[in-house]
Amino acid sequence: MAKRVLVAYALWAVGGPLGLHHLYLGRDSHALLWMLTLGGFGFGWSREFLRIPAYVKEANQDAEKERKPRNAPPPVSPVRFAGQVCVGIYFGTVALIGLNSLNFFYLIVLPLSMGAGVHLVSNVGQQTSDLTKTLTACLVTSPIFYGSSLSPLPISLAASITATQHRRFKPPRTPGSQNNLGPRLYRLSLAWLAFSAPLGYCIFHNTTATLYYLSDSIAALLDIFWFLPGLRGALEYILLIPYRILCVLTGGGYYDEAWKKVLEILLREYTEREKTALKVLSLETEASLEEINRSYREMAKTWHPDHNPNRDAEKMFVKVQEAYEVLLRWHKPHRFT
């Protein structure tokens, strides 16, 4: 049966972030990508409002007649390339959270996970790429940045460039293949399970460690933009979107402050570095800025090399100075408001 634009829009509105409209149109790779990223982190889902008619037309053309193979590669798409990089980093981050205890993680597990994310974006729509070469680019790049917290970025860039260089159109579909909903859902379920199972295991069995990791990541992200309160506010708004959606679905109060308080507590969790700084200055976890300044002045005076002949005085004075700078950053204005 011919696909209808109104049905596609209805599914986009009801379950767009889960890829229901793509599943309806036979775009299984796109549907899986949306399931794993909640609609391309929300941005891709909103962008599709104007693209759905083209998706429906493409699906109906495939159903009416067999698509002819094309030898020329598809044009380069900056949006697709950006999506490859972002999803590659996203898959790498998920692997870091859920699979970093595995042997040879940085040499095998991390690059393969990121290569799968990049290839998933490469496979959206009528395009695809060479999976083997994409994974090879990841495996070759990973040892160069072994163990670095920034390694997902260069690995994802290398994989995305390789995938773009080897882009091509998919071969024609087998007539009636998109009508086999059962096998399609089965494959999508297996793919979703393979992605979510390690992350779910990590969340439920390492809850505390996961929360600390998330709080440190969010706090570090917001800390970058502490001097731009407008941008910081926009990022915080995005973080609160899941709560607002929950309120709409459950009929709860949209302006309830409960989630904001939870988020504030989460973001105010001290990192390990800040806990060490508190110990150096002999302070409690809820120390005020005034208490931090007072303790710093007292300890700096005590351990200053000009006043303390102890040979470890200079080393301790440097520790006191570094601890004070760490805690001052934590008390930057507008960081958590």
The tens digit of pLDDT for each residue in 218-252 reads: 666 666 666 666 776 777 667 666 656 656 655 55
Q: How confident is the model at residue 257 (pLDDT cuts 50, 70, 90)?
A: low
Of 335, 225, 308, 298, nearest to 324 by C-alpha is 298
Q: In angstroms, what CA-CA distances link 288 with 257, 267, 294, 300, 324?
A: 24, 17, 10, 18, 12
Intra-chain end-to-end CA distance of the chain, in Å: 53
336, HSE (Cβ side, Cα atoms, 13 Å): 18
Q: How far is Cα 162 from Cα 169, in angstroms, rounded to an integer?
A: 16
- Look at residue 254 in the predicted model and tell me its pLDDT: 44
Give the whole-angstrom CA distance, residue 1 versus residue 336: 53
User: For 98-107, 134-143, 174-183, 248-257, which range has the lowest pLDDT when averaged over its residues?
Assistant: 248-257
CB 292 within 8 A of CB 283: yes
pLDDT, tens only, 47-72: 899 899 998 888 887 655 555 556 77
Q: Which residue has the higher pLDDT, 249 or 309?
A: 309
Q: Cite the beta strand spans of 15-144 per DSSP E.
A: 127-128
- Give the 3-state DSSP-derived string for 222-246, with helices as H, strands as E and coil as C: HHHCCCCHHHHHHHHHHHCHHHHHH
How many Cα atoms occupy the beta-carbon half-sphere of 208 within 13 Å? 0
Q: d(Cα 246, Cα 228) in Å, to the nearest integer?
A: 29
What share of the chain in percent tops pLDDT 70? 71
Question: Which range is least confidently modeled, 151-155, 221-225, 277-281?
Answer: 221-225
pLDDT score at 336: 39
Task: Specify the pLDDT at position 272.
Answer: 67
Q: How far is CA 268 from CA 257, 262, 274, in A?
A: 16, 10, 11
Give bridge partners of residue 247 from the DSSP assignment.
Answer: none
Question: Residue 208 pLDDT > 70, yes or no?
Answer: no
- pLDDT tens digits along 1-41: 688 899 999 999 988 888 899 988 888 899 999 988 888 88
Q: Considering the entire predicted model, what is its pTM?
A: 0.57
Domains of the chain: 5-68+172-202 (no CATH), 78-169 (no CATH), 208-267 (no CATH), 272-330 (1.10.287.110)
Q: Comparing 76 with 259, which gets the higher pLDDT?
A: 76
* Cα-based torsion angle of the residue sequence 183, 18, 152, 122 in order, rounded to the nearest 10 degrees: 60
**pLDDT score of 319 more than 70:** yes
pLDDT of amino acid 140? 94
